[in-house]
A and B are shown apart, each in its own frame.
Chain A
Amino acid sequence: MIIIPDPVYNPNHLDKVTTTTKLAPGVSISKFFGSKGNPCSMTSIAKYRTNQDARVQLARNLYIHAELFRSINGNVDMFKDVRLVVSEGVYRGGPLELIGGDNQKKQDGLLVVYKVFGEDGEIDYERTFDLADYWKDYMVYEKLSLEYDKWDPSGKLNAQVAVEIPKIPESFDVDFGMKVETNFNGHLFSANELIEVVDN
């Protein structure tokens, strides 16, 4: 599949990529760096400190994620009462951490995890499922995971949507796996289907 990027936001046309670089209306790269799960700056990651090529590659990968935002922001029919937030964006890692697994994908901008908050500032579980279901049908991805966990010691259910994409080449010619799954507490709960988990 060849994706035709919006020329205004096409990372290939950029001389310089910074955190203020826009990837979609109202979506800058900084949105993927200031996540609650791993807040960091672009210069704090060695590979992005000075390497513009690495930054452009990151911007291309994140462009697909910005499209996810674009599909939600302004979608007044379905998602007017929720806010989409990056909960795990570009990953920097611990002070001496050997980054591996999905965290490496996060550092490369291939994997981003989102949360959906309602007007009360709490996770909107119903809308989280709606969003995952909507993206499943209308957006492109390598793997879309609906993730639930009860890791919070308070017993509160957590819900988030992890979207993994393949590395986006300069041609934007890339194939997407379009796999979906549901996880609970870090374990695969169901493959090839999204299952809405609700609290007791």
Chain B
Amino acid sequence: MTTQIKKINLGDNPAVENTEGVPLDGFQDPTGEYPKREYHYGSSINRSARGLKVENLYLGGGSPANPLNLEDQEPSRFPFNQVKETASGHVISYDDTPGGERILIKHRKGAGVEIRADGSVVISALKNKVEVTGGDQTVIVEGNGKLVYNGDLTLEVTGDYNVNVGGDYRVNVDGNSETNIRRSNVTQVGLNTKYTTKGTATYKTVEHEARLILGNEDHVVKGYYKNNVGAEIEMFTANRFQVSAEEHIGMSALNANIQATDISILGMRGAIGGEAVEFTGPVYMGPKGAKAFASGAAFYGSFHGQALEAINSGFAYKAENAKTAMVASKEKAGQPEGGAPECPKRMEGPTPVKPVPKTDAVANLLMSGHLSIKPIVIDEEDKLLYSILLRDDYGDLYEKEPTIDEIRSSLRDPANKELKNYQDTKVVDVMVQKNMLSADWNVNIFPPKVNRISKGNEVTPRYGYIALGNSVNNRGKRFK
């Protein structure tokens, strides 16, 4: 119903409105879209322009412990807000309301860009957000920053990746952490380093490992500590070198040498010597010390030298008075009073407790048992080495499992197609076996299907395109 009806003679065309005038409620929309429900019985001026409604982007709230820290938007005041709202609900708003100045571009679903009164810029994407920068990009944030990804994050850097941190740098990983570095890894720590491994720690070094400690080093091992060295061990100390064990120390070698200016080899019991071991020293005595006739020691075998007394001598090589030496007949000056003491005849000396260390017995000790020399063979054929370096798989080509792109790149050299690994197998065959390379990579030389063809000596006609840079045949850059 309109306030005024004006008939128009439009002929027979029914598609054309045949009346015009002003409806009683001020609107006439042939589509029925307008006025919208919220504008019934009211002003047709946009509600957000009048401050009855505040258009906001979809933000979804902050993440836990990460508030968005956005101030509430001041409602607009008429007539400061210029709003354009489309039928579906897209909004562009230029708001000059004092204290609430902002620019808003909002999609009907809530995505958009908002420049707020305080200068904050809010960008909201309900689904994906794509940023493409053809050249360089610089981001400068004067305050703090937070990045929250509730899914996975992958960062790919083609060139160098430099991180400069003025303060502390913390990485907290709830799962596993893997670092693969194809070249060198250099870490310099200005102060202290602390490693704590709650499980098992394994370190492998293929070549040389050097540790320089200018201070002290302590090793504390609660369990066993085992060193297996394929070549030599040399330990030098400028001062004291002490080895002790609460229970047992065993040292075995084909050749052993202990030299000292002052040496002591002491024990409560045991044996020293061997079938062909010679002893040299000025004094030999029994456990009771240097007491004549009562030292408690026995000597078995031939004696070459001078004996002050002989208890029982079956044969004296050059004893001029031996026949009368059993009992001294007269005192001499300097001798104990009463003459020589009565000497026990046929006195039984101490007998050995330990068996004679025969050569065979010593050899057995060296060959078997817990005191034997342990054979040390560490990666004799370099199998472990080649396994770590993957040379038993990929020869000299890769030290990591290659990707299909790396395989393509390497095989561009025909020599690499024939290259064999350290097990004399072709590297390409290994890659086929490991399902890294198609089995018919070198057999199938015909493509499945072809489409367009462009001749090398013909320029392909292009219509509607503006060629960038050079003209056809590069004449623009030719000066000869």
A interface with B by C-beta (< 8 Å): 1-4, 19-20, 25-26, 28, 30-31, 33-41, 44, 67, 70-71, 73-75, 77-78, 86-88, 91, 94-104, 106, 113, 129, 132-133, 136-140, 148-153, 155, 157-158, 178-180, 184-187, 189, 192-200
Contacts and interface: CB of A to CB of B under 8 A. Distances in A.
Given A87-B405, A103-B412, A180 B456 contact: yes
A186 to B, nearest CB: 7
Interface string B394-425: 11111100011111111111111000000000
Contacts of A194: 453-454, 456
Interface of B: 133-136, 157-160, 182-183, 389, 394-399, 403-416, 435-442, 444-457, 459-460, 462, 464-474, 477-480
Contact of A193 (B455, B469, B472): B455
Contact of A95 (B396, B406, B435, B464): B396
B408 A151 contact: yes
Given A19-B159, A75-B468, A138-B470, A150 B438 contact: yes
A35 to B, nearest CB: 8
5 contacts: A19-B160, A37-B409, A138-B472, A180-B456, A193-B453
Contact of A73 (B134, B396, B436, B477): B134
A2 B407 CA distance: 37
A138 B444 contact: no
A18 to B, nearest CB: 9
A76 to B, nearest CB: 9
A107 B405 CA distance: 16
A3 B408 contact: no
Contact of B454 (A19, A133, A155): A133
Given A102-B413, A158-B408, A186-B411, A192 B158 contact: no
Contact of A189 (B133, B134, B445, B473): B445
Contact of A1 (B441, B464, B479): B479
Nearest to A176: B474
Nearest to A67: B469
B412 to A, nearest CB: 4
Contacts of B439: 153
Nearest to B466: A77
Contact of A2 (B405, B413, B456, B480): B480
B453 A140 contact: no
B396 A198 contact: no
Given A73-B134, A103-B412, A30 B159 contact: yes
A189 B447 contact: yes
Contacts of A78: 462, 465
Given A33-B159, A197-B449, A133 B460 contact: yes
A98 B415 contact: yes
Contact of B450 (A102, A152, A196): A196
A101 B459 contact: no
A97 B408 CA distance: 15
A193 to B, nearest CB: 5
Contacts of B438: 150-153, 155
Nearest to A137: B459
Given A44-B183, A153-B438, A96 B477 contact: no
Contacts of B394: 94
Nearest to B441: A151
A136 B441 contact: no
Contact of A185 (B136, B407, B441, B467): B441
Nearest to B183: A44
A6 B98 CA distance: 51
Contacts of A197: 447-451
Nearest to A190: B453
A136 B399 contact: no
Nearest to A3: B477
Contact of B159 (A26, A34, A94): A34
A165 to B, nearest CB: 13
A150 B444 contact: yes
Given A36-B406, A94-B398, A185-B445, 18 more contacts: A1-B474, A31-B158, A86-B158, A88-B408, A101-B412, A103-B413, A136-B460, A140-B477, A150-B448, A151-B408, A151-B441, A184-B446, A192-B456, A192-B457, A193-B454, A194-B453, A195-B454, A197-B449
Given A30-B159, A95-B389, A184 B183 contact: no
A196 B451 contact: yes
B474 A71 contact: no
B452 A196 contact: yes
A16 to B, nearest CB: 15
Ranked nearest first, the 9 interchain pairs of A and B with the lowest CB-CB distance are A30-B159, A34-B158, A37-B409, A96-B396, A26-B135, A101-B413, A180-B456, A197-B447, A94-B397
A165 B452 CA distance: 25
Contacts of B462: 78
A35 B442 CA distance: 24
Contact of A97 (B396, B448, B449, B451): B396
B452 A129 contact: yes
A136 B396 contact: no
Nearest to B461: A137
Nearest to B435: A153
Given A30-B159, A189-B447, A136 B454 contact: yes
Contacts of B450: 195-198
B137 to A, nearest CB: 10
